[in-house]
Each structure stands twice: as structure tokens, then as C-alpha cells.
């Protein structure tokens, strides 16, 4: 008999647990997102502790739980990247052996020329930039000239920012669709991101109407595998964006913050479905990791943990919970970039062996393989199913 009817994967975006062996190749030193936030007075996550967070091999911080109630593992990223798209794709089963292109010096002149021709507008900035600082520095020029602010980061992204009064949100989305068609092949960045904002100089504010336009996944995913069997594949937050909408049967957008995302997930638990709910909580990364806000990150983890307690109390006997991350973004590290880190895997449910230390595995794709195995779905991936080990 199938042990699980519903599986919930909650991705704590950027919740890394220590530098991977190749971190220096990605410009990172002794990074550890978890270690940085545990040191904050704002940090208190008793539920994740009970699941075994501090029992995971190599975390190097916190106090291990004497009798963990979950199974736990440390996962290494096999793909050549440390960004959202690469991390989520690997969770779902895809190994990206070639890194997606990045542009530390801005996009080449021929790319900018092609974008300007498609948009019918000039482009300003064209540099790696902080998203809040770029609108402060270029917002007045954008309004005066009608140009579009195009910028990037250390990730494989092209971001387009414009004031909502000058460029209606739907028009900004259309510019992003144009850019997505152009940015393929050699210049196939992982994401084109619409960044609308409002306000007057110097008090511009980015709005929640951000939208990501991803590359089509380059291989088979756990959602593809489940969809072929007619099972539910529900995305909460930006999951649908990350996978270009492919094999996501339903999307629940997050309009405010992590709390809103978890509230939507908690309501989803009241529904009867068979399959997967895949949740991304982006605030850890976007609001706190990149801004190197240790106390803010720690407080967000504390708030999540309280909602996690509600989630666990509502779980049914045939539910499976998996908590993980897609990369690191150590708020205690220099700079504002993601960090190349191991990620946690915490698993919990009535049919999951309590206190099981699974050790360290070489790929995030263990998750996709496990989900596919649970539902008897065929998925080609380098990950291996953990189901035989975790089942009670």
C-alpha cells in the first residue's frame, strides 16, 4: 500500500548549512548561512530543531536534538551554479552541468542593441546592481527619458525595472517576454525578471508585482513525472515561474511575504489531493540574505518555525513533509551574492523513521527521485530515491 498520498516540499530560499568543497571556485570562503543566523538573538526554531536540523552532519552550530522526530540529511549541489533556477531544477531532478551565463561587466553591446530594437525604448544602467539601489540611482533618469533600467547580478539574470506610472505592469511583462525570446542559446540567462516600482525620488519602493520568466527546463522533472500519471503538481510562490509553468497543474501566488506563503500552504492542507505541493519562501533570500541582514533573516526563520508547528499539527497520516533549500546566501559573508553551500533535508511524517541520519548525498536530485518513487512515477535523474531508507 502507498504510504504517502500528499507530499509537501518547502524550500527555504537560500537556507544553506555550510560551504561546499568547491566554494572557492564560486568566489566564496567559509560561508554558512545557518551558523550566521543562529548567532542572532532573534533566532529560535524549536520545531526544526526537533526535526533534526542541528543533527545534520557538518552543520557546525546549534545544539543537536537528543531524540529527533524526523529523518535528516545534508545535500550537495552537483550542478555548476548557486542560483535559484539551477537549485530548484536540481531538486526536481535536472543536473545543470554547464553554468548559465553571467555578466559581471554588463550585457554585450549587440545584446543591448537587439533589446532596444525590440522594446522601442532606450536602455540605461546595464551593470550588476542591487535592486533597491538601482532604482534609487537611475529612477529619475528613467522617468525623464522613458528608458528602461536593465541590470543584472552575480546570478544568471536579466532584470528590467520601470516605474508603474511610466510603464504599466502588463507592458513591463511584455518587454520581459520579448527579452526571454532574445536571451536564448549563448545568452540564455536563467531568468528574465520584471521589477516594477512606485514612489518618488528618493523614496522608491519595489512592488509585489515582480514576475520571473525562466528558461524552459532542460530535462525531465518530478512534476513532469507526476503529471504523466495525472497527479496534482501545485506550486506555491514562484515555483511556476522557475519551471516556465511546465507541468505545474495549479499555482498559488504569494502576494506579501513568507507568512502569506505559509498561510496559503496551511489552507492547501485542508484540500483533498493526491500528489505534490512545491513551496518556495523567497524572503529569506530576497529580503535578508542579499541585504546581509542577519537579524532579519533570523527573525524570518523564527516566524517560519512557528507556522511550521501549525503545519505539523495539521498533517494527516499519509502526508510527507520535506524541508530544504536551493543554495546559500550567508548574511554574514562579504558582498551581496549567493553562497555555494550544502542544503538541509528534513523529512517528517507518520511513516518516516524518526531520528534517521541519512548522512551526506552528492545531489539535490535525491528529492526529485524520492518524490517520483513515492508516486510510482518514472523520472530519469542522477538522484536516487531515499524512500526505501526513510519508510517506517
Query: Which residue positions form the known binding site for Mn(2+)?
Result: 13, 285, 290, 326-327, 338
Beta strand 6-12 with 319-324 is: parallel
310 closest CA partner among 355, 258, 262: 262
Known binding positions: 13, 285, 290, 326-327, 338
Render the burial of 4-24: b for 16+ CB within 10 Å, e for the rest. Answer: bbbbbbbbbbbbbbbbbeebe
Task: Give me the residues paired with residue 160 across strands.
Answer: 150, 194
Q: What is the chain's alpha carbon radius of gyration, rounded to the nearest angstrom? A: 20
Q: How far apart are CA 222 and CA 227, in angstroms?
A: 8
Burial class (CB in 10 A: 0-12, 13-18, 19+), 27: middle
| Pairing of β 157-163 and β 191-200 | parallel
- Please classify residue 382 by burial: count the beta carbons closer than 10 Å to its beta carbon, then call 0-12 exposed, 13-18 middle and 19+ buried: middle
Task: Give residue for cell 505559509.
Answer: 262
Amino acid at each position: 500500500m502507498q504510504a504517502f498520498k500528499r507530499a509537501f516540499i518547502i524550500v527555504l530560499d537560500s537556507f544553506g548549512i555550510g560551504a561546499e568543497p568547491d566554494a572557492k571556485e564560486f568566489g566564496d570562503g567559509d560561508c554558512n548561512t545557518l551558523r550566521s543566523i543562529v548567532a542572532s538573538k532573534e533566532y529560535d526554531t524549536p520545531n526544526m530543531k526537533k526535526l533534526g536540523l542541528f543533527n545534520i552532519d557538518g552543520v557546525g552550530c546549534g545544539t543537536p536534538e537528543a531524540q529527533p522526530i524526523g529523518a535528516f540529511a545534508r545535500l550537495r549541489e552537483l550542478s555548476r551554479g548557486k542560483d535559484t533556477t539551477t537549485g530548484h531544477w536540481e531538486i526536481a531532478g535536472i543536473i545543470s552541468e554547464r553554468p548559465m551565463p553571467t555578466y559581471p561587466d554588463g550585457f554585450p553591446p549587440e545584446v543591448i542593441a537587439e533589446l532596444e530594437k525590440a522594446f522601442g525604448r532606450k536602455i540605461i544602467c546595464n551593470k550588476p546592481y542591487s535592486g533597491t539601489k538601482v532604482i534609487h540611482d537611475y529612477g529619475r533618469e528613467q522617468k525623464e527619458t522613458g528608458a528602461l533600467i536593465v541590470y543584472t547580478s552575480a546570478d544568471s539574470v536579466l532584470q528590467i525595472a520601470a516605474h508603474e506610472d511610466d510603464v504599466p505592469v502588463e507592458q513591463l511583462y511584455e518587454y520581459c517576454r520579448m527579452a526571454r525570446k532574445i536571451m536564448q542559446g549563448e545568452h540564455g540567462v536563467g531568468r528574465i525578471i520584471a521589477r516594477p516600482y512606485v514612489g518618488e525620488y528618493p523614496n522608491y519602493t519595489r512592488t509585489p508585482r515582480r514576475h520571473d520568466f525562466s528558461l524552459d527546463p532542460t530535462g525531465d522533472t518530478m512534476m513532469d513525472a507526476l503529471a504523466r500519471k495525472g497527479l496534482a503538481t501545485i506550486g506555491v510562490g514562484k515555483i511556476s515561474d522557475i519551471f516556465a509553468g511546465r507541468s505545474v497543474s495549479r499555482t498559488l501566488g504569494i502576494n506579501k511575504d513568507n507568512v502569506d506563503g505559509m498561510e496559503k500552504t496551511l489552507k492547501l492542507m485542508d484540500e483533498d489531493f493526491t500528489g505534490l505541493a512545491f513551496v518556495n519562501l523567497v524572503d529569506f533570500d530576497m529580503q535578508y540574505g542579499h541585504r546581509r541582514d542577519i537579524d532579519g533573516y533570523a527573525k524570518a526563520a523564527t516566524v517560519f518555525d512557528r507556522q511550521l508547528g501549525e503545519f505539523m499539527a495539521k498533517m494527516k497520516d499519509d502526508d510527507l513533509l520535506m524541508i530544504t533549500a536551493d543554495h546559500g546566501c550567508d548574511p554574514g559573508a562579504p558582498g551581496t551574492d549567493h553562497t555555494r553551500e550544502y542544503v538541509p533535508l528534513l523529512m517528517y511524517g507518520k511513516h518516516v523513521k524518526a531520528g534517521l541520519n541519512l548522512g551526506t548525498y552528492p545531489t539535490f536530485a535525491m528529492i526529485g527521485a524520492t518524490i517520483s518513487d513515492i508516486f510510482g512515477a518514472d523520472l530519469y535523474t542522477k538522484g536516487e530515491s531515499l524512500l526505501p531508507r526513510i519508510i517506517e
